[in-house]
Amino acid sequence: MRILARYILKEFLPPFIIALICFTLMLIFNDLFRLTKLFVQKGVSPLYLVELLIYVMPATVVLSLPMAMLVAILLALGRLSTDNEIVAMKAHGIAFHQLMLPLLAVAVVLSAVDLMLIDYALPRANRAYASLQRDIRRHKPAFVLEEATVMKELESEGKLWMYESTDAKSGRMQNVKIWDNIWSGRPRFSQAQEAILGFEGGRAMLTLYNGLTYEPETRSLDDFRVTKFQQQQLALQLTEDLERSAFQNQNARSMRISELKTFIGTLRSALPDSKNPDYTLLKIRSAEVEYYKKFSIPFACFALGIIGVPLGLMVKQGGKMLGFGIGLAVIVAYYLLLQVGQNTGLNGVLPPALAMWLPNIIIGVFGIGFSFWIIAEGKIRAWFDRDNQVSLVVSRKAES
């Protein structure tokens, strides 16, 4: 049994490492192109780009681990099936569970590794990433001012703003719109005919001319108080030089499991006294989705391992390419189910726990079904072949 386990794991390890590297690079390319555009616009050192990519790595590895494990199982067992080594193992009395147990043990270990990455490395990396990205977006905002484009440099602080055009003579921005406190559930909107963006003491200051401010009333969210102004200054958290600062605000993705559980409890206790219960309920569902996702994604290693072993044994012709194709199809199906589950959990269609565990349940049920089908297939085939067995008759001539 130990020899068999070592042999199977020896076949599993090389494709797993190659698949992990390939999937990680594929997932990180999207961030690389997006961040490169930001760095070109902001004109900061490329070393910050490398630092951001390092912070992205834990989130990428968390997703690529289950994918690499499934593809490695399919390639390893596909190679054994194609070379008829599986047939030879069955002929020597090796049962299906003896092939499955070593790979499921690896799946359990990878699930534990993935869970540790999500609970320890991922929150710290997300906080560092958000802090550095915020500082970069604050750096020299005039370089990225675009007409009729929403500026998202201060989105984490709850501010969005835009302007329609630029006056050719005065250089002032025309028809400026500003959304403030967007994450509080009580947003404030300001609109001005003109505005000037300047720096005072290295800090950005937006001066608004001839506008209106709309603020929700304290008693009712449906009523607004309108204030008219001729000139108003708005301080923006933007700097002329890149300044590094500590991360202050946390969201659900940058919290550890214990912190997130406490955060959900705090939101639930504040729900009865909330002035905007719908918004608070949405925050609770969002936090619960992230909480259960921290468990469901690591468990995906085990769920994909359950379906990967029987699928790998079914690969007889086509070899590695067929196994790789099947693996990609299962991975796409799993992450589509994960996205659907996340959306239904956020919208309240399904409870967040069921919504995030649904992909694992579906994949696991199919995997168990395929496993029983493989076990039953051998018994059914042996039962049908029982009448075709040739009896061996040995006759001895009578001694004369």
- State which of 42-51, 166-175, 244-253, 338-347 shows the largest mean pLDDT: 338-347
Domain ranges of the chain: 2-136+295-385, 144-239
CA–CA distance, 298 with 27 (Å, rounded to integer): 17
The C-alpha atoms of residue 366 and residue 155 are separated, in whole angstroms, by 42
pLDDT tens-digit series, residues 36-69: 766 666 666 678 778 888 888 998 999 999 999 9
Q: What percent of the chain has pLDDT over 70?
A: 78
User: Residue 59: CB partners within 8 Å, gap ≥ 6?
Assistant: 122, 125, 126
Residues in the chain: 400
Q: Whole-prediction pTM value?
A: 0.68
**Burial letters 69-95, b for 16+ CB under 10 A, else e:** bbbbbbbbbbbbbbeeebeebeeeeee
Largest CA distance in the chain: 132
Q: Locate tokens 């649904």: which residue?
A: 358
- 59 in Cβ contact with 307 (< 8 Å): no
What span, in angstroms and rounded, lies between the C-alpha atoms of 175 and 5? 70
Q: What is the mean pLDDT of residues 123-149?
A: 70
Short-list 135, 97, 84, 125, CA closest to 315: 84
For residue range 315-354, what is the model confidence (pLDDT) as tens digits? 665 556 676 778 888 888 998 999 999 999 888 888 999 9
The pLDDT tens digits for 189-219 are: 888 888 887 766 556 778 888 888 888 876 6
The per-residue pLDDT for range 88-100, each reduced to its tens digit, is 777 777 777 777 8
- Residue 273: what are its φ and ψ, rounded to 5°? -100, 5
